[in-house]
A and B are shown apart, each in its own frame.
Chain A
Amino acid sequence: MTGLRTYLVVFIALTFNSVFRIFNSPKTEFLSFSNSILHTILARLRSGHPMTWTDIIFERLKTNCLEVVCHVPDSVLAPLITRAEADPFFTVVPLTREEEGVGVLTGAYLGGRRGLLMMQVSGLGNSVNGLASLAVPYQIPFLMLISQRGELGEFNAAQISMGRAARPVLDALDIQHFTLRRVDEVAILTDGAIKTAYTAQRPVALFLSTEMVGWKKEE
């Protein structure tokens, strides 16, 4: 009986939430909530294209309520940034430098909102003291979504060192990291990384491997 009541309460809460959001801002919320998930799936089915890693991560961010999206632009992450900018669910904060994002996400978390920091791996280098002296000691959780450079197919010698140092740096800071190598594992790794971040009250990093997303061509 208790279990049934719990399900009923959750069902009513979710329905109320959806109805409230739709009435609150009909056009955008309807588009945002219903269209986003169903539309993506239907569009993919119609076109014959499978869900991309961008689609999957986008849905996981919404499901897990990671609303504040801090980023310095990067070509691999560009489609995800564009989708977030087009969706009023997200507050997108374009940064001048990745370390700012550690501060912005700290302030957002203190204010009760979750988020993520998207960057190319070179930006991790720019974030180190923010992570070490703010996120870690103050126990501020967020997701870090990092596109890999310096591994497979790299043309730019200046990218290699930070690309290789990234994981040892995170290990030195005791920040957990996972690597997305196949599209079929993106959903589970993303969900799992987010869950652990908020349990540990610490950032967790997800690397987008070059084997999954491809590598930048010289032109």
Chain B
Amino acid sequence: MGDEGQELKDRGIINRLGATRYLVSRAPQALIVAGPGNAKFDLAATGDRPQHFYIWNSLGLAPSIGLGLALAQPKRQVIVLDGDGGTLMNPGALVTIARMAPSNLLHIVWDNGQYQLTGGQPTATATVTDLAAMSRGAGLEHVAAVTTMSEFEVGLETWLTEPGPWLVVAKIDESPAPARPPKDPVWIKLRFMEAVNK
């Protein structure tokens, strides 16, 4: 990483782990659903908690899970953390969320323009596709696109207080995520359901 990492930091480009850490500190009571890949690894790196639902496969279903959870628990803040790969796998989820429009849902797409875990193959967001525009086209009214950490920090205050559903596309750097969450799906499910009931 070295000089390149420092250069990215100087330009204010968002680091996914730093942004996740900041998010967790600003929304400690939120129920967080993290999609397959580095979104969930960085969530685990902030400190594993029962209210993290880590998805180990089913790429594309993170926002759908978040929608179901938001509908079932309208008084709780529900946050979905996913990558651009996951959003591109199931763009219809944006439509369904726009139709149901739960105000307590915040969906953050960490966009690094690649499938990082499989070797960094570029996704369409690296070249031709604009996820924020797709979201607005899908019918989502509260859409934000941020490229620096200060934009993220300022925006977060709005996304956590103004009724949603919110869709945030955050351009991030290429830092990998070394942390690993628990692997047992049933354990993840049961303790999450307990956390919901607290």
Q: What is the CA–CA distance of A104 and B90 in the complex, to the nearest angstrom?
A: 13
Q: Report whether A104 and B67 are in contact in the complex, using a CB–CB cutoff of 8 Å.
A: yes
Q: Across the interface, do A139 and B189 meet the contact criterion of CB distance under 8 Å? A: yes
- Min Cβ gap A202→B in Å is 12
Are A91 and B61 in contact, with the CB atoms below 8 A?
no
Contact B68 A133 (CB under 8 A): no
Partner of A138, one of B188, B196, B197: B188
A99 within 8 A of B: yes
Q: Mark A46-64, 1 if CB is under 8 A from B, else 0.
A: 0000000000000000000
From known contacts A97-B92, A138-B186, A140-B189, infer whether A105 and B56 are also in contact, taking CB-CB under 8 Å: no
Q: Collect the chain B residues with CB atoms within 8 Å of residue A138's CB.
A: 185-186, 188-189
Q: Considering the chains assembled together, what is the distance between the CA atoms of A107 and B67 in angstroms?
A: 7
CB closest chain-A residue, reference B33? A107
Please report the C-alpha to C-alpha distance between residue A129 and residue B55 in the assembled complex, in whole angstroms: 13
Instruction: Specify which of A68, A101, A109, A139 is in contact with B185 (CB 8 Å cutoff).
Output: A139
Closest A residue to B188 by beta carbon equals A138
Residues of the B chain whose Cβ atoms lie less than 8 Å from the Cβ of A105: 68
Tally chain B residues at the interface, Cβ within 8 Å. Answer: 36
Which of B63, B92, B96, B193: most chain A CB closer than 10 A?
A: B96
Q: Which residues of B contact A108 (CB under 8 A)?
A: 68-69, 71-72
Number of interface residues of A (CB under 8 A): 30
CB distance from B38 to the nearest CB of A (A): 18
Q: In chain A, what residue has the closest Cβ to B189?
A: A138
Q: Could you say which residues of chain A place their CB within 8 Å of the CB of B115?
A: none
**Is A112 a contact partner of B73 (Cβ separation < 8 A)?**
yes
Q: Cβ of B8 < 8 Å from any Cβ of A?
A: no
Cβ of B117 to closest chain A Cβ, rounded Å:
15
Within A166-192, the residues touching B (CB, 8 Å) are none
| Residues on the B chain within 8 Å of A94, using CB | 96, 99
Q: Give every chain B residue within 8 A of A104 (Cβ-Cβ).
A: 64-65, 67-68, 71, 96
Contact B67 A110 (CB under 8 A): no
Q: Chain A residues with Cβ under 8 A from B189's Cβ?
A: 110, 138-140
Q: Which residues of A contact B64 (CB under 8 A)?
A: 100-104, 106-107
Contact A137-B56, Cβ < 8 Å, known A100-B93, A103-B65, A103-B67: yes
Q: Which of A60-104 contact B (CB under 8 A)?
A: 68, 91, 93-97, 99-104
CA distance A105 to B73 in the complex (A): 13
- What are 8 of the A-B contact pairs (CB < 8 Å)? A94-B99, A96-B95, A100-B90, A104-B96, A107-B65, A112-B193, A112-B197, A139-B186
Interface, chain A (partner B; CB < 8 A):
68, 91, 93-97, 99-113, 129-130, 133-134, 137-140
Lowest 4 CB-CB distances: which A-B pairs, in order?
A107-B68, A103-B64, A111-B72, A96-B92
